[in-house]
Each structure stands twice: as C-alpha cells, then as structure tokens.
Amino acid sequence: MNWTSAPTIEDASLEPAHRLFLPAVLTRIEAFLEAERSQLPCWFVASFGMGIAAWFTLGASYAWGGVICLGAGVAALGLGWPGRRTGRALAGFGIALALGCATIWIRAIWVASPVLNRPQMTEIAGKVQRVETLVAKGDLRLTIATTTPGLPPRVRVSTPQDEAPTGLAAGSIIRLKARLAPPPPMALPGTHDFARDAWFRGIGGVGRTIGVVTVVDAKAPTGLDAMRKGLDQHIRSALPGSSGSIATALATGDQNAVSKEDAEAMRRSGLTHLLSVSGLHIAAVVGAAMLLTLRLLALSSTLANRVNLVLVGAAVGALAGVAYTVLTGMQVPTVRSCIAALLVLAGIALGRDALSLRLVAVGALLVLLVKPESLAGASFQLSFAAVTAIITLHSLPVVRRMLGPRDDGIGGRLLRGIASLIATGLAVEIALIPLALYHFHKAGLYGVGANLLAIPWTTFVIMPIEAGALLLDTVGLGAPLWAAAGWAIDRLLGLAHWVSGLEGAVASLPTMSRWSFAAMIFGGLWFCLWNSRARMFGIVPLAIGAMGAGLTPTPDILVTGDGRHLAITSPDGAPVILRDRSGDFMRSLMSEASGFDGDPGLLAEQQFANCRRDSCFASIDRDGDRWVLLATRSRDSMKWSELVAACRAADIVVSERWLPRGCTPRWLKLDRKSLGESGGVAIFLGDRPRVESVAERIGHHPWRAVPPVYRPRPKFSPQNRPSATPQARFPRDR
C-alpha cells in the first residue's frame, strides 16, 4: 500500500469493523446534536432537575457526593471530547447535573432549623407570621415565630375559628398553650412527606391549641395580607356557600375555603387545576389587560400612529400579571406562569417567537434556582408537564398541518378550533396521568371531556363576570353580576360532581415504584425536548415505565409508624382497617396506598378475622400459604402468659406499645421500638415476602425522624384481663 496516497475503498475494507463503525456513530451523533442545537438549553435545565431529583431519591450523603462526582466526570469528559457539539453538550449536562444536586443539598443545609424530638404540651409566646383560614375544617392555622426558650424558632398550630380572639392577624404578639409534636413524617411508604415540606419552610413543630389564645399586642392586617383578607371576606359575603369558596380560590389562590366534598369532586373529575392560580388565570388576566389597553389606546388616532401600542399593551399586561401573582401569594404555579407570561410578552414586544420550550425551560430554571425543593412537589411537576405537553403537541408537524391557520370559512375555523381544544385536552390529560398516579394514587379518566367544557367556561364566563362584579362593587352595583357568577360557578361544580360520580371515572394505583416513574418522566422528556424523529425513541422508556406501573403489586398489610393503624387487603382488593373509629384522613390514606377507590371496610367484620376489645387475629391466605397476624388495638395491659403464647402462634405481630422480648413471632415483630426506627411499613406476602419502610424511603435526609429512646415498660400484670388466643381458631397451615 502506498502510504502517501489517499485511502481507497479497498483500503477501507482491510480496516477492522469496529474502527469504521465507531467514527461513523460519533459523526452521526455530532450531526444530530448540531441539528438539535436549539434544544440543548432545555436539556441543560432537565439535567439540573435530574441532579435535584437524584438528591431527593438517593438516601445517603455518599450517594449525593457520587452524583456530584459523576456530573464533574461527565463534564471533564466533554471538555476533552473530540467532537465540538458533543463535547459541549456533555460538559453542559455534567455541570448541570452536579449543580442541581449541590444546589438542593446546600439549600437543605441553609434552611436547617431546630425540630422538636418528642410531643409535648407547652406554653407558646411569639409573633404571628401568617394566618390561614381553613373554612372546611372551621379552623385558623397560625404560623408563629416563637420567643419561648426551648422551642423551635417557628411552629404552626391550629385553633378553632369561632374561638379566635379579635386582633389575631399577621404581626400580632400572642400567647397560648398547645400540644406540639414534630412535623409528621411520611405515614406510609410513597405517601406525602409533610416533614419534608416543614423542613424547607423552617417549621419545627405542629400542633393544636389548648384553651384560649391571648392576644398580647394586636396588629391590624396591613399591606397585601390585609388586601387578600379583605378580598376574601368581601367575595364570601357577596357570594356565600360553595360558590363563594370557588370564587375566592379563583381570585386569591386560597383553596382552604373549598369544602372537602367540592375539592374531592374537582380532583376526581380532573378539574382541580382550575382552583390553583396558574397558567389559565395568569393568561386570562394578562390577556384581558393587554386587550383592554390596546382597544382603549386605539381610539386615539394620534397614539395609534405615533406609539407602538403593542409594546404599551405588553407592558400593561406584564404589570397586571405581576400584581396578580403577588396578590395571590406567589405560589410556585403562579410564579412559573407569571415568568412564562413575561417572557411571552417580551417575545411579542421584540417580534420573536414567544411560545417555545426554551421559554418553559427558563421559567423552570428560575424557579429551581430560588426554590429547588419545589421540584419534588406535585404542583411544580403538574404545571410544567401541562405546559410542556401543550407546546410539544402544537409543534408536531402533523398537528401544524391539520390545525394550523389557513384561509377558509368560519365553519372550517370552528372545526379546527374544536379539534385543537380536544387534542390539547387529551395531551394534557395523558401527560398528567403518571404524575397524578404517583403523587395521589388516583387519576381522573374523564378529565378530557370535563376540561373541554370547564376551561372555556371558567376563562370566558366565570372569571370575566367575577372581575366585573368586583369592579362594579366600587360603585355598589355588583349584586347582579355576583348572582350571575354564583350561577356560573354552580354549573361548574355540578359538572365536577357529575363527572366524579360516573362509573370508572377514577383509575387507582398503589404506591408506584420509583424506577417506573423515573422511566416515564425520562421518556416524556425525550419525546418533548427533541424536534427530529429521534424523539420517538422516548416511547420505549415510557412504555417500560407504564408497564412497571401497571404491574405495581398491592401491599397485603399497611402499618403506620405509630402502630395504631393497620390495614389488610381483603380478597376482593378492598382494604380493611383495624380500628373502627379511624378518622377520615387515615381511612383515605389507607385506601389510596392500597390503590382502592372507595371507603375501607372494618377488620372486625371480616370472616378471616377474630377481633375483641384488645386485639385482632387474622388469617391471611396468599399464594397457597397462610399467614397469622396478631394486632393489638388498645393500651390496656395484657396477661403475660397469653401474650407470649399468642406471639408464638403468629407470624406477624403489630402493636403500638412496647412488646417484651418474650413476644417472638415466627417472622416479623412490629412494636413501638421497631416502628420508631422503621416508620410506617408496607408488607408484601407470598412466595418472597418483603417489607418496605418509610425509613428506607427517607434515608439520611435531614428531616428524617429521630428514633425515640427505648424505655422498657413495667412487666405485664397477671391480674389484667386476658386477650384472645389464636390457637383455637387459626392453626398454622404450612
């Protein structure tokens, strides 16, 4: 071979196959990234979010450090990569991954505040920082900056609204007595983590007042708090009942006034997003302000000829959007929507393409830089998923061809508008189903149809009428419009209750595995953030994650961290609970964690259980095997000999008390000591029995509950009443 000549086809055929294949692959990757260069900033933000998500998912500091090192390694690899575009992409993704994990780690340390380690009754003195009205519960929820020695700097307590003293407002100095406890941890694996929310809000204790709240120095509400409270009272005085609660939520973003029944109906029908001030409301406010400004200024020919009215209208719309965001409390969905609206207005003013995924990415990045913990919340995920799905849908070439603007008649435009509305609703519902199943264990299946009616009804009927009523109230003429607003809101609530009551309206799922959820999220991002046909590869992880979620097993036994509440999945799939007088929250929690849409039954009424005052025995058949469970349900002392005999005859023992060492079940013992270390548990029986715990989910995150100190109780007295024994009824069949 002539080494000075150019290589030929014959020369190339002599090279090993891998030496030809690898450069070709790298060249194709480089060309792909060059063609998709406009989308790479979106992936930078996605990688930043992945770093935050990794910190929440992984449970140890060495794992968090590993994520940061991995990101740094990928960045170093990118800096040394021969391909220009590929190297930059790798470097950017690696840096974003490391920065995301480091940002949330630093944030968790920065907001650290003392937390109670045990329940206690105590006197509290301090300054009220926030007053929230929980109309559905008849309570006021007070966030207090305490001055009492030995207490966390900030606590939150609830007090009956009808017993609240006058002068109780933000800024007031108060004194009260309350029973405080540490912020409640995740009750069961996969349920909502209230302790995490309290950690990032700096709340070190929660509880309820005992007796009367004394106002030492009363302060009248001022500023935005006064405006928000006055607006809330004004709306509910003009429009009492359920319709007034919905009107308040639309105007101020305060959903605490909505009754439990209405909130549940809105959630089951897929309309709950209407109660959260987000994109729909911001768009309506900004659009109305901009349109009104343009129409009014256009009446002057001088202004129309000499002033850029679009720019002026965009400025007025921006001011209206910012004012509305501040008025409604600057919640995450509202801030995200406001940022997006400002970017859209900036694009309109500059004559650029205003609506794009890059705009959404910028909004997400700004929110995550300020509050990275918001990524773990359902509000952030639902709002950004909905907007991303809408933009992705209308960027697809096939959708542009079918629904894009064209010159035809009114009928054609109307049909395209209806088709666009249906397609948009369907895309949003599909995007939100995995998130709803993961966070709430339920997803409305008829939300598309409900939203087709509810969104335009809320945007073009309810909100304009309510705004007009508030405007006319300044001259005392708003009563007719308030009556019309009440009628319109009643129609919305009627739709929600009707849809939620339909058979099969809700799909339920037990706690979804994290890998299934992560696979669906990654597949959705891959599909949405690329423009070329390569986006179709995102369907693969989407399908794998969906199959994993669909195969999620139902736990056979659920036990809360205090050992008081237990649920067993009956043969028909419905959970049955241990205590007859469990509250609504606990009953709902057990149903959701079991993937059951309905009210749980009672263990005492089941044929496979034998319950008495002090204890219950249950025989649970799974995969041809029988498991005997013993659960105590009172704190009364039990006869030592009978307790020990009952434990030996059972496979699983659950109790809220400290059980003696002599209590030795055949497989699993869950008492106050072990549950204090593990938290709530989900037990899966069958051929390969296993236990999932809250402690495993939380890991070493700073808000994890500290196990209580073990203090042995006095020995059981032989004079105490006997409890049921399992030998007579449930022999062990193995």
Find, among 267, 260, 235, 237, the residue nearest to 248 by Cα.
235
Residue 12 above 50 pLDDT? no
Angle CA 598–604–607, to nearest 5: 90
- At 536, list the tokens: 């179709």
Query: Is 539 inside any structural domain?
Result: yes
Strand partners, 121: 179
- At 394, list the tokens: 């209308």
54 φ, ψ (degrees, to nearest 5)? -60, -40
Same domain, 324 and 379: yes
Task: Give residue 217's pLDDT.
Answer: 83
3-state secondary structure of 707: coil
Query: Is 571 inside any structural domain?
Result: yes
Task: Give residue 223's pLDDT.
Answer: 62
468 contact partners, CB below 8 Å, separation of at least 6 = 478, 481
Which of 85, 110, 135 lies at the terminal end of a domain, its last residue?
110
The pLDDT-based confidence of 58 (bands split at 50, 70, 90) is very high
Same domain, 499 and 383: yes
The pLDDT-based confidence of 279 (bands split at 50, 70, 90) is low
Answer whether 580's CB lies under 8 Å from 588's CB: no
Cβ of 82: how many Cβ atoms within 10 Å? 9
Answer whether 273's CB lies under 8 Å from 382's CB: yes
The pLDDT-based confidence of 731 (bands split at 50, 70, 90) is very low
**C-alpha distances out from residue 610 to 315, 616, 639, 724, Å:** 71, 6, 18, 8
3-state secondary structure of 269: coil
Minimum mean pLDDT range among 33-47, 551-565, 570-584: 570-584
- At 534, list the tokens: 């390569």
Q: How far does Cα 484 stand from its chain's mean position?
A: 34
283 φ, ψ (degrees, to nearest 5)? -60, -40
Task: With residue 483 as reference, give the H or E element that holds it.
Answer: helix 479-500
Residue 63 above 60 pLDDT? yes
Same domain, 261 and 198: no
Residue 4 above 60 pLDDT? no
Task: Give residue 62's pLDDT.
Answer: 93
Answer whether 656's CB lies under 8 Å from 632's CB: yes
Give the C-alpha separation, 288 to 81, whole Å: 51
Task: With residue 441 as reference, give the H or E element that holds it.
Answer: none
Same domain, 478 and 417: yes
One-letter identity of residue 331? Q
Q: Pick the residue with more confidence: 497 or 725?
A: 497
Which of 110, 138, 165 lies at the terminal end of a domain, its last residue?
110
The mean pLDDT value for 467-476 works out to: 84
Query: Is 237 inside any structural domain?
Result: yes
- At 625, list the tokens: 């095997």
Same domain, 544 and 653: no
Query: Is 7 inside any structural domain?
Result: no
Give the C-alpha separation, 654 to 564, whole Å: 9
Residue 9 above 50 pLDDT? no
Measured on CA atoms in the order 280, 283, 286, 288, is the torsion positive or negative? negative
Residue 513 above 80 pLDDT? yes
Give the C-alpha separation, 207 to 178, whole Å: 7
217 contact partners, CB below 8 Å, separation of at least 6 = 172, 173
Same domain, 361 and 496: yes
The pLDDT-based confidence of 281 (bands split at 50, 70, 90) is low
Same domain, 184 and 254: no
Both ends of the chain: CA-CA distance in Å? 78
Find, among 640, 629, 609, the residue nearest to 723 by Cα.
640
Give the C-alpha separation, 690 to 632, whole Å: 22
The pLDDT-based confidence of 719 (bands split at 50, 70, 90) is very low
The pLDDT-based confidence of 206 (bands split at 50, 70, 90) is very high
Query: Is 596 inside any structural domain?
Result: yes
558 φ, ψ (degrees, to nearest 5)? -120, 135
Give the C-alpha separation, 508 to 521, whole Å: 19
Measured on CA atoms in the order 528, 531, 536, 540, is the torsion positive or negative? negative
- At 212, list the tokens: 């009367």
Same domain, 458 and 540: no
Cβ of 689: how many Cβ atoms within 10 Å? 17
Q: Locate tokens 């204090």: which residue? A: 676
Same domain, 367 and 388: yes
One-letter identity of residue 410? I
706 contact partners, CB below 8 Å, separation of at least 6 = 117
Query: Is 177 inside any structural domain?
Result: yes
**C-alpha distances out from residue 727 to 362, 656, 661, 671, 685, Å:** 66, 23, 21, 22, 22
Query: Is 732 inside any structural domain?
Result: no
Please count the structural domains in the chain.
Answer: 5
Same domain, 233 and 215: no
**What length is written for the chain?**
734
List, for residues 595-639, the tens digit of each pLDDT value.
888 889 899 888 888 888 888 899 998 888 889 999 988 777 777
Task: Give residue 410's pLDDT.
Answer: 73
419 contact partners, CB below 8 Å, separation of at least 6 = 402, 403
Give the C-alpha separation, 457 to 451, whole Å: 9
3-state secondary structure of 20: helix
- At 61, list the tokens: 């500091």
Task: With residue 729 as reference, give the H or E element that holds it.
Answer: none
- At 384, list the tokens: 């950004």
Instruction: Please give the mean pLDDT across all residues of the chain.
Output: 82
**C-alpha distances out from residue 164 to 133, 174, 176, 214, Å:** 11, 11, 11, 9
List, for residues 564-588, the tens digit of each pLDDT value.
899 999 888 889 999 888 888 889 8
Q: Locate tokens 């002392």: which residue? A: 637
**C-alpha distances out from residue 23 to 27, 29, 77, 85, 87, Å:** 6, 10, 17, 15, 15
Which of 110, 144, 169 lies at the terminal end of a domain, its last residue?
110
Same domain, 633 and 682: yes
Angle CA 376–377–378, to nearest 5: 125
Give the C-alpha separation, 697 to 694, whole Å: 5
Read off the pTM. 0.83
Q: Give residue 52's domain range.
A: 18-110
Residue 55 above 90 pLDDT? yes
Give the C-alpha separation, 331 to 339, whole Å: 12
**SS3 labels along 661-721:** CCCCCCCEEECHHHHHHHCCEEEECCCCCEEEEHHHHHCCCCCCCCCCCCCCCCCCCCCCC
Query: Is 709 inside any structural domain?
Result: no
Strands 566-569 and 575-577: antiparallel
Answer whether 545's CB lies under 8 Å from 539's CB: no
Task: Give residue 501's pLDDT.
Answer: 82
Percent of the chain surpassing pLDDT 70: 87
Strand partners, 140: 133, 159
- At 69, list the tokens: 């090192």
Give the C-alpha separation, 22 to 618, whole Å: 62
Same domain, 413 and 540: no
Answer whether 194's CB lies under 8 Å from 185's CB: yes
